[in-house]
Chains A and B, each alone.
Chain A
Amino acid sequence: MKEPLKITGAEAILSSLIKENVDTIFGYPGGAIMPIYDKLFDKFHKLKHILVRHEQGAAHAAQAYAMVTGKPGVCFATSGPGATNLITGITNANLDSIPIIFITAQVSSTLLGTDAFQETDMISLSMPVTKWNYQVTKANEIADAIAKAFFFAKTGRPGPVLIDITKDAQNELTEFNYKKIKSIRSYNPKPELKDEDIRTTLLLMQSSKKPLLLAGHGILLANATGQLEAFVNKTKIPVAVTLLGKSAICEDNPYYAGMLGMHGNYAPNVLTNEADLIIAAGMRFDDRVTGDLSRYAKKARIIHIDIDKAELNKNVKADIAIHADIKDFLDEIIPAINYSADKRWLEQFRKLEKIEQEKVIHKECFPENGKIRSGEVINRLSVKTAREAIIVTDVGQNQMMGARYYKYKYPNSLITSGGLGTMGFGLPAAMGAQVGRPDKTVILITGDGGFQMTAQELGTVFQYNLPVKIVIFNNNFLGMVRQWQQLFNNNRYAETNMPTPDFPLIAKAFGIEGAVVKDRAKLDQALDKMLNHNGPHLLEVKIEKEANVFPMIYPGMAVDEIILEP
């Protein structure tokens, strides 16, 4: 009999990825992962590899790539420091439920546990921040491990998974026979929707005068934006979104009620505590959304639908806790709806919106004097790009402004770090978004602080000529922290004041065009130049130094105590 064909473990890894329709990998080589990179050398026609400048960047880029393409991201890193550099990115993906397959190399199995050169116990390190992880020590385990990794990452509540592969397993010969996984008995990614859940929801809706729908990231993850729109149009229930739920519904929708949370909009926060029914769809009542829990939505019955049972009754006790895929739920309930919310309730939102418009939004977007404000920059970008761009933000004031003042139209057009709030997320995420969607304008909104945390990725932007538009709001402060110091620490600006480098010059050093703008009169021109430039462009905008983000729910406040002005 003929010997079956054998390949090395390293090749088996790459072949497995190809079987899972992977075509892009973000990574960084090193000693332990060399066998994989050696095999990759022959497979560049099928697997495009983006060489980042720091492994954290690979993780963030893979996350944004996954968010804009709907495909899982894939990351390679070598053992030891390469692997540990991923941790922030893995954690970020875990908190925001993004499917990423992390492949880290490991020392040879014979050396495990000996403190060998560049050995780290990556399985233990990544355990609290992955949905699943596994150490492969034999080449014949690879196909199964990767099949499981993809299955776990993509299904149910998505999340990052990690496979750690010893160097000897990469070199060992194995037969290769790849089969995708269809089901795993200990894991139920698709909870069964009960008729009773639909019935009771309809019943509670029927008796509700003031219903409010809270749409979270789950809508986007479940690909249920069409269903959400249909539900809202049919029921006329006002719909508010969480930060990660932004872009789950077009902001033109007549029932769109704005963003929830600490720096969200006035109306949905105030009226959360007026509502008599809250339908929470694919969101998790994060503390940034609820404010003081003991005074949150006390007048409302709460229907909470989530695919993750552990989220139900975790922060907010639900009157009806529905363990289901939000898409299934909406698909099932829409045809049965015979209800339409009272128009007067929607008018209450419009009234409060007007107040916010006058007291906050207008001043922020159309200031007539003083220094440039970040809100007006984003508002202009929204107009200039006809709301067609993908906005990526870093963390801090720039993030809140990016979320508030761009008028989102398409699903997954805001890429931001929600649960972890990771400064430095922005630039690498913008790269990943651009790699995933070369057809789109990708605009990064970042701060002078956060940009400097991962600025080395300008090297990657240059190498692959990724035409990302980088807007740095320079306020010479770690703005968001400074805002808190001003509001709560008596203006004691401890270590938040920062001299900044010449950002356009830094861009230039990386071969990227850069410019700076200080005057309102020149802002349009600078933005047009950036947007029309064929290739990456960095624009530093010198903004009002001590501008604050409002409205704001101060820590300890209830949502309806949200403050419009300091």
Chain B
Amino acid sequence: MKDTYTITAFSENHIGLLNRITIIFTRRHINIESLTVSSTEMKGIHRFTIVVEAEEEQVVKVVNQIEKLTEVLRAEWYLNDDTVYREIALYKIPIDSAIDKNLELVLREFNAHIVDIQNDFVIIENTGHVDDTEKLYDILNPFGILQFVRSGRISISKQKKELSAYLNELPLNEYVKE
């Protein structure tokens, strides 16, 4: 049965690694729903957060294949319940609609806020799950959406052993010479 999985991989900063990772998904015809690359608490180590809709068996194989890459320190997978995850969405709407007092109610309900106001438009930011982003989109649609953008997922696992502890155990240098 298909489900939503979040795959997290920690890696050295190496040009081309993103490509190597995505090849693993393309070969198995797995569509990447979202992908975020960011730095971590440890200097030089990067974090890939990849969301896919797939079957568990496939996900396990893919994660093994990611971890096999020579620059990947560690790869893990989670179901939604095992992580806290968020995405950000930005909505640009015309200033005229923004004056509509219903907007304020909407913003309050979603805990969204206005991050920029210009002569002819405002920009609203919201953080939440995919559903929240989509619900807010539907509500704002009648106000006239000029532009809409959303980020990929970021996620933090709920597991006990802190990843930072794992990262901290790593040697400082990427490699040791003879």
Shortest CB distance A159–B (Å):
10
Contact A310 B61 (CB under 8 A): yes
Q: Is B23 positioned at the interface, with any CB of A under 8 Å from its CB?
A: yes
Q: Are the CB atoms of B16 and A184 closer together than 8 Å?
A: no
Residue B124 CB within 8 A of the other chain: no
Q: How far is the CB of A294 from chain B (nearest CB, A)?
A: 14
Complex Cα distance, B68 from A182, in Å, reads 19
Q: Which residue of A lies closest to B24 (CB)?
A: A128
Contact present for A124 and B19 (CB under 8 Å):
yes
Contact indicator B178/A181 (Cβ below 8 Å): yes
B72 contacts across to A, CB distance below 8 A: 186
Which B46-103 residues have C-beta < 8 A from chain A?
Answer: 60-61, 64-65, 67-68, 70-73
On whether A182 and B177 interact (CB within 8 A), knowing A127-B20, A133-B16, A309-B64, the answer reads: yes
Given A131-B70, A186-B71, A309-B68, A314 contacting B61 (CB threshold 8 A): yes
Whether A554 is near chain B, meaning CB under 8 Å from some CB there, is: no
| In the complex, chain A residues whose CB is within 8 Å of the CB of B15 | 135
- B121-151 vs A, CB cutoff 8 Å, 1 = contact: the mask equals 0000000000000000000000000000000
Judged by a CB distance under 8 angstroms, whether A229 is at the interface is no
Number of A-B residue pairs, CB cutoff 8 Å, is 64
Query: For the side of the interface on A, what is the size category?
Result: 20 to 34
Q: Are A185 and B61 in contact (CB under 8 A)?
A: no
Nearest-Cβ distance from residue B27 to partner chain A, whole angstroms: 8
**Secondary structure call for the A interface:** mixed
Residues of A within 8 A of B23 (CB): 127-128
Chain B binding surface, main DSSP class? mixed
CA distance A50 to B124 in the complex (A): 66
Min C-beta distance of B21 to chain A, whole Å: 10
Q: How far is the CA of A502 from the CA of B155 in the complex (A)?
A: 67
With A131-B70, A310-B68 as contacts: A179 and B174 at CB distance below 8 Å: no
Whether A132 sits at the interface, judged by CB under 8 Å, is yes
The CA of A419 and the CA of B78, in the complex, are separated in Å by 33
* A517 at the binding interface (Cβ < 8 Å): no
- Assess whether B176 is interfacial by the CB under 8 Å rule: yes
Binary flags per residue of B10-39, CB closer than 8 Å to A gives 1, else 0: 011001100110010001000000000000
Among residues of A, the one whose C-beta sits closest to the C-beta of B173 is A185
Most buried by A among B67, B70, B170: B70
**Contact call A184/B175, Cβ cutoff below 8 A:** yes
A128 / chain B contacts, CB cutoff of 8 Å: 23, 27
Residues of chain A within 8 A of B67, CB atoms compared: 309-310
Q: Say whether A183 faces chain B, with CB atoms less than 8 Å apart.
A: yes
Given contacts A182-B176, A182-B177, contact A308 B70 (CB under 8 A): no
Which residue on A lies nearest to B72, using beta carbons?
A: A186
Contacts of A314 in B (CB 8 A): 61, 64
Kindly list 5 other residue pairs between chains A and B, CB separation below 8 angstroms, not including A180-B177, A184-B174, A185-B171.
Answer: A148-B175, A183-B175, A185-B12, A310-B61, A310-B67
Closest 8 CB pairs of A and B: A179-B177, A310-B64, A184-B175, A180-B178, A186-B73, A310-B68, A182-B176, A187-B70
16 contacts between A and B (CB under 8 A): A133-B16, A147-B177, A148-B175, A181-B176, A181-B177, A182-B178, A184-B175, A185-B12, A186-B174, A309-B64, A310-B64, A310-B65, A310-B67, A310-B68, A313-B61, A314-B64
